[in-house]
Amino acid sequence: MGSIHIIRDFFSPQEGFARTLRIYLPDGYDASSDRRYPVLYMHDGQNVFAHPESSLYDTWCANIALDRLVGEGRLEPWIIVAVDSTNHRLAEYSPWDEPRSHVVARGQGYVRFAVETLKPYVDSHLKTRQGPEWTAVMGSSLGGLMALHLGWTHPELYGRIGGLSPSVMWGYGRMFEQWTSHTRRWSRIYLDAGTHENIDPVGYQMRYGDATRDFYFHLKRLGYADHELFLVLEPEGLHHELDWQRRLPLALRWLLS
């Protein structure tokens, strides 16, 4: 089994405050060895692992899922770096304003933190394999939107992108306007949602099934091939940690293989 290490008060100079990092190291990880590992970065870190110091509520159990997939020989070992969100999550994961829910974007600060501080720290302190084909980023809801935004704005760093119920309708669908072409770099993009996953938490209807399907076909029209792009629409899927936990093993198998 892999092990989880928590770093508290990891300062983000781009945002002006500290975050908590939760790092999963695969079974057999040895800092003195020459072996290097690919890295998966995940948002909402407090919801990622089955661990006594994770969220009090349901989590994705990513450590259990990855341990099992590696044990079955379906995946090679990966490091997971999960970054906690804060009480200002909506703003921090917003690349642009969302006037309908009165959210003023702070997402560019988070992007700079991820690119300028977090990734260099991880690469200098852990035995990582570098390059976009060995670096993944994943999140759900607005965390999924942020994963897509990082993949589009920094394809030289993040080649594997996982958006579980990504909020691509956020900011009047700006993600569709932003993603205007194939990045022409190594890419693998996983998208999923519940077919009828509709929520209204901020004053307008967010139709995740329809929006995620539309974004999948948007990327197809831009030239992404079947081996670069995968869509799952789950008939009974809802907007909840347990739904992302259930779909995570498939997401990991396709995205990280």
Tell me the per-residue pLDDT of 80-117, one tens digit each, with 9 for 90 and over. Answer: 999 999 999 999 999 999 999 899 999 999 999 999 99
| pLDDT tens string 56-70 | 568 999 999 999 999
In sequence order, what are the residues at sequence separation of 6 or more whose Cβ sits closer than 8 angstroms to the Cβ of residue 64? 50
Tokens for 119? 């990734």
Report the distance separating Cα 120 and Cα 115, nearest Å.
7
Cβ(255)–Cβ(138) below 8 Å: yes
Strand partners, 23: 5, 81
pLDDT for the residue 200: 84
Alpha carbon separation from 165 to 60, 80, 215 (Å, rounded): 14, 20, 11
How far is it, in rounded angstroms, from Cα 224 to Cα 226?
Answer: 7
> What sign for the dihedral angle of Cα 51, 52, 53, 57?
positive
pLDDT of residue 173: 95
* Residue matched to tokens 């999948």: 216
pLDDT > 90 in the chain, percent? 92
The rounded distance, in Å, linking the Cα atoms of 109 and 14 is 5
Which pLDDT does position 144 carry in this prediction?
Answer: 99
**Token pair listed for 163:** 């958006």
pTM for the complete prediction? Answer: 0.96
Residues 6+ apart with CB under 8 A from 244: 60, 140, 164, 165
Eight-state DSSP code of residue 137 = E
**In the chain, what are the domains?**
3-256 (3.40.50.1820)
Phi, psi at 79, each rounded to 5°: -85, 140
Q: What is the pLDDT of residues 170-196, one digit of tens each?
A: 999 999 999 999 999 999 999 999 999
